Structure 1
Amino acid sequence: MTFKMITGMAGIAADYDGYILDLWGVVHNGHHPYPGVLECMTKLREKDRPLILLSNAPRTNGFVITFLEKIGVGRECYDYILTSGDITREVLATRNHPYLKKSGNAFYQIGADRDKGLEDGLDYHRVYSVADADFLICTGLADDETETPENYRSLLLDALSRDLPMLCANPDLTVMRGNSSHYCAGAIAALYAELGGRVELFGKPYPEIYRQAMERLQISEPSRILAIGDSMRTDIKGATEMGMDCVLVSGGIHAEEWGLKDGQLPTAEQITSTARQHGFSPKYVTGHMVWQENAL
């Protein structure tokens, strides 16, 4: 498995016609953009090369746009944004899924109050007891500062006893917020599946979100798109399976695993070991997404 260590995007950007960027761990850390990332996004979009932000946020893109503006990532920094929440809402709207075709309209939501809006304007209603639900929507943990998936075991066992299917609007297991790791909806979905529950996940690394991203970029050939992400499990896996070249940003979700700080590059041995575990490799590895390439 071969890959190249780089310290900036300037040397490779012109090889592609458009870009897919992850948000958490690539553009921002949950509190503010990483140093140099906004300049890099501007440079990437020069010569009319489009850039789409692809996020496993369990909210529709309007909520994410508002959040990005609050932390200093303006609408002028990118062309499009697509979230796993958008994909989940589309499934709810069309009911084009086996879990919904014969289901009622009552759902029990596992997640924080901020994870709202997936059912807005649709013929569904939220209930606050698993006993009243026809299916589950998982958007995360109610309090990801203190809780773990184990806090939900009894609730999931109750749902399992009623054979309630789960739609998971964020496949991520964890996310970095600042310098700390927090569980995401995917971790609860994994526990439910382990218990025997029926689970469907939407977002990265699954093909539909990439197909829709390509439509928005108006690029039909995956090899002409460069995908930049911080998660081997979602970002790199999904893009690789679509036939896109990938940049793994080591300063995100894998930084703690590799003992890295402030966008340090991992060793070649660390990347090789991780790539072997996953069965695929990024084409490039960088510390943080910046433009100017410096000597290694």
Structure 2
Amino acid sequence: MTRIIAALSEIGTQYDALFCDLWGCLHNGRQPYAAAVAALRAYRAAGGRVVLMTNAPRPNAYVIAQLDRMGVPRDAWDMVISSGDAAQDAMFAGAVGRKVWHIGTEKDDGFFTDIPAEWADAPAITRVDLEAAEGIVATGPFDEANEAPEDYRARLMLARQRGLKMLCANPDVVVDMGETRIYCAGALAEFYEDLGGEALYFGKPHPPIYERARRLLGLGDGARVLAIGDGINTDVRGALQEGIDCLFVTGGLAAEAFGADFENPDPELLREWLAMRQMDPEFSIGRLR
């Protein structure tokens, strides 16, 4: 049964490293949460290491630049690992071919143009129209403010008929941009699978992003890791599948399910909600602080 805590400091000393989600935990897409920033800074000051682990479909340099613009101090984290990093590796390895139809916005162009050094000599990836594509790369809707997966039915049915695989660079289904909820690439991938297509995932809750974080941070088999996140099917499920403890931030995507006070979830509502989803994170907290 999950234990509700008031602050990260209650349990932080038990862990060598944190794998901390961004949207809904550290920021809301527009500005950082001051209490979350303070909690991570304090954890690092006590000797812990922080990996900011995000399902953003861009290389981590773009995520870091966004954090800088928001005003998240760099002493709040050690490393940023994005779904885009792990998915890039797969794309340049040829997981969905060399000619791809890209579903996404211009802000995700770096996924294709910023080629990692280890792939500098790999054959080029070319973005083409659906009719000429060998595969699909989804980083999000073309118009994330207005489109839903259903808007892609005809094009994705054609892709499925041609047997194209979809590389999903962001397994998140939705995120909150300030007060607005928008669809992510994960929603498109799930819809494609519902139509009978095949999707490949590389962010949370799937192993590649965790393997990359452990490798780059140099964590051994005995390292004590705590995952922090507000996504029940990404952060919590991923932690459970990886065999690591999890701190579920209830005041994020599912905040309205746990009572009117987003800072302090109702214990009974929380436990019933988790039981219905057969999830049991070790810890829960209203907001990261």
TM over 0.5: yes
| CA deviations over 1:66-109 (Å, ceiling 9, x no partner) | 111001113332111111100011112233x4xx4xx3x21111
Describe the superposition over 1:33-73 as per-residue Cα deviations: whole angstroms up to 9, x where unpaired.
11312111111112332110000001110111111100111
Letter in 1 for 2:180: S
How far is the alpha carbon of 1:259 from its aligned partner? Answer: 5.0
- Equivalences for 1:27-38 in 2 at 5 Å? 27-38=26-37
CA RMSD of superposed structures (Å): 1.6
Q: Is the CA contact 1:141–1:147 (under 8 Å) kept in the aligned structure 2?
A: yes
Aligned to 1:36, what secondary structure does the other structure show?
helix
- Higher deviation after alignment, 51-60 or 146-155: 146-155
Aligned counterparts of 2:222 and 2:187: Cα–Cα separation in 1: 30
Task: Output the CA distance in 2 between the equivalents of 1:258 and 1:200.
Answer: 33
C-alpha separation between the residues in 2 aligned to 1:274 and 1:215?
34
What amino acid sits opposite 2:33 in the alignment? Y
Q: 1 CA distance for matches of 2:125 and 2:219?
A: 35
Gaps of 5+ in 1: 291-296
Correspondence for 1:72: 71
CA distance in structure 2 between the partners assigned to 1:222 and 1:152 by the alignment: 45
Quote the Cα distance in structure 2 between the aligned partners of 1:229 and 1:223: 19
TM-score normalised per structure 2: 0.92
Judge conservation of contact 2:136–2:164 (CA < 8 Å) in 1: yes
Residue 232 of structure 2 corresponds to 232
SS of 2:52's partner is strand
What's the secondary structure of 2:34's corresponding residue?
coil
Counterparts of 1:125-136 in structure 2, within 5 Å, are: 125-127=126-128, 129-136=129-136
Give aligned pairs, total: 281
Find the partner of 1:112 among 101, 105, 108.
105
Q: State the percentage of identical aligned residues.
A: 36
Displacement of 1:25: 0.5
Whole-angstrom distance in 2 between the partners of 1:89 and 1:141: 18
Amino acid at match of 2:3: K
Gaps in structure 2 of 5+ consecutive residues:
116-121
Letter in 2 for 1:112: T
User: CA contact under 8 A between 1:222 and 1:244: conserved in structure 2?
Assistant: no
Aligned to 1:45, the other structure's residue is in SS state helix
Alignment of 1:196-275 (within 5 A): 196-221=196-221, 224-258=224-258, 260=260, 263-275=262-274
